[in-house]
Structure 1
Amino acid sequence: MTKPMPAVFFGHGNPMNALLDNSYTRGWAAIGQEVPRPSAVLSVSAHWYISGTSVTTMTTPRTIHDFGGFPPELYRVEYPAPGDPALADRVRSLLAPISVDPDGDWGLDHGTWTVLRHVFPGADIPVVQLAIDKRQPAKFHFDAGKRLSPLRDEGVLIVGSGNLVHNLHAYAWGERAVEPYDWAVRFEDKARELLLTGNDGPLIAYETLGRDATLSIPTPDHYLPLLYVIALRRESDAIRFPVEGVDGGSVSMLAVRLG
């Protein structure tokens, strides 16, 4: 029997990582070299956070430069991976009775392409994005992730892209390296402990984890992609953290790999 495809949550951080050679981007590249070559990638990105559930259906998704104030060379980057309408249809079928709108406009936002540019630099693997319905509670997203589990047996690499800790109000925007905030370290440590023990309940009900969680997750958009990934866990899956670090004191770059 073929082993199921791994699933990975990426802490994507600053869009400039698309152009940089650092410990994070080298870690992403290593993941791409280690995982079996997928038939396609299904990405759940923090940056497609809308009122509803949609999936991209186009054959040639555009590269979306959904940010401002960065150097011109970043806006010139293209990630010309093909789409996969058949996978989009499969996602819609698996998520039923959730209503999933086919989307022919969105494309690949920076939560997806800035990471995949390092993971699969050839841009030759089809990529489909699934939107996050911002109206729904965390449990909805965890349950949706569970419905997608058969894709792991069909050669699809499911990725979530966000950040476990993502507080831009506390972010140190200067060039000088800063130490992570104590609350960011405590929350990441607690999340790691829960992940390693398979205790998903508190991760779903993250608001119950106290002030450290409140500071680490001031808005849910960057956190919810993690729930799609951990919902895919099977009994035989090892949990690994192939990329680590905290950027600017308040953005966790932790990657979480299942399988």
Structure 2
Amino acid sequence: MSRLPSIFLSHGAPTLPIDPSLPSGAFGTLAAGLPRPGAILMLSAHWETPDPVASTAVKPETIHDFYGFPRALYEIRYPALGAPDLARQAITLLAQDDIAATTEEHGLDHGAWVPLLLMFPDAGVPVAQLSIQPHRDPAHHYRVGRALRPLADDGVMIVGSGQITHNLRAADFGARPEDADPRVAEFTDWFEARLGSHDVDALLDYRRLAPHAALMHPRDEHLLPVFAALGAAPDDYRLQIQSLGTYQRALAMTNYVFESAGN
């Protein structure tokens, strides 16, 4: 089996599966162009813990971790099986790199199940979720991804789910895509140029180097999963960019695939 790519998803609003104005179909298009994984290890911006925790849930519940949305959204269930053996394998790999981690049973938050519902609607790919540490820096999450890299050779797709820009206070929920703040593109262009050139050092120091970094990410919990996906990527990765536009003026939706140049 060839090495699976790692990916980063901008999972958007929880309404992605039910709002026709959002680019929900693009996630299925993305999945159709990727090899189907045997299992997924998902790092979502919406599970925060002091140290990494992997979920060993056999049948993870669908967590509706939001409020004030249409009833139809709360009725959705994503019945994918868990991957407890994968969770334990991830903990072992982290421990080998001296990263303290543990396990518990945890469901799939909307950063996990919303994009997976669109990518794998049959819920046929087992999923284990791994938490992020928002009090830790990008280098920590890159190191986590590096430790998990061997999983990609065993049919596991490592997926980071967050948002390439995420400042809800700057959002205008009545804005059209063409009303995007130009500073969003300045930030994403900088970030993607460094991803494309494999400039890991600059990326890990994005908070100081990237234009408008603090405006795009007042807290960087929605960006941290990309560093885990980057860490899990092969050294010779080829970058695939799926740009879906900017919504609510300040919330860009871009997905990245880090695939082996040899595939």
Give the TM-score taking structure 1 as reference length: 0.95
Indicate the SS of the match to 1:239.
Answer: strand
Partners of 1:158 and 1:210 lie apart in 2 by: 25
Indicate the SS of the match to 1:74.
Answer: helix
Q: Residue deviations 1:102-144, cap 9 Å, x none?
A: 111x210000111000100001110010001223222111111
1:181 maps to 181
1:108 maps to 108
**Contact conserved, 1:52 with 1:134, CA < 8 A, in 2?**
no
User: Quick one: which amino acid aligns to residue 155 of structure 2?
Assistant: G
1:131 equivalent to 2:128? Answer no
Partners of 2:227 and 2:176 lie apart in 1 by: 32
Indicate the SS of the match to 2:28.
Answer: helix
Matched ranges for 1:1-259 at <5 A = 2-21=1-20, 24-96=23-95, 97-104=98-105, 106-174=106-174, 176-209=176-209, 212-259=212-259
Partners of 1:23 and 1:176 lie apart in 2 by: 11
Q: Residue deviations 1:8-61, cap 9 Å, x none?
A: 100111110022346632221012212112110110000001222111001000
Cα drift, residue 176 of structure 1: 4.6
User: Quick one: which amino acid aligns to residue 146 of structure 1?
Assistant: R
Partners of 1:211 and 1:22 lie apart in 2 by: 29
Indicate the SS of the match to 1:192.
Answer: helix
Cα drift, residue 76 of structure 1: 0.5
The CA RMSD measured in Å over matched residues stands at 1.5
Partners of 2:144 and 2:176 lie apart in 1 by: 40
Partners of 1:71 and 1:134 lie apart in 2 by: 29
Distance 1:225 1:31, change over 3 A: same
Structure 1: gaps spanning 5 or more residues:
none
User: Quick one: which amino acid aligns to residue 218 of structure 1?
Assistant: P
**Contact conserved, 2:11 with 2:114, CA < 8 A, in 1?**
yes
**Contact conserved, 2:31 with 2:119, CA < 8 A, in 1?**
yes
Q: Is 195-204 or 219-228 further displaced after alignment?
A: 195-204
Q: Residue deviations 1:142-197, cap 9 Å, x none?
A: 11110110011000011110011111001012265552112111000100110111
User: Quick one: which amino acid aligns to residue 16 of structure 1?
Assistant: T
Cα drift, residue 234 of structure 1: 1.9
Partners of 1:122 and 1:236 lie apart in 2 by: 32
Percent of aligned positions with the same letter in both sequences? Answer: 33
**Contact conserved, 2:175 with 2:247, CA < 8 A, in 1?**
no
Indicate the SS of the match to 1:94.
Answer: helix
Indicate the SS of the match to 2:16.
Answer: helix
User: Quick one: which amino acid aligns to residue 204 of structure 1?
Assistant: L
The number of equivalent residue pairs is 257
**Contact conserved, 2:142 with 2:228, CA < 8 A, in 1?**
yes
Partners of 1:51 and 1:241 lie apart in 2 by: 31
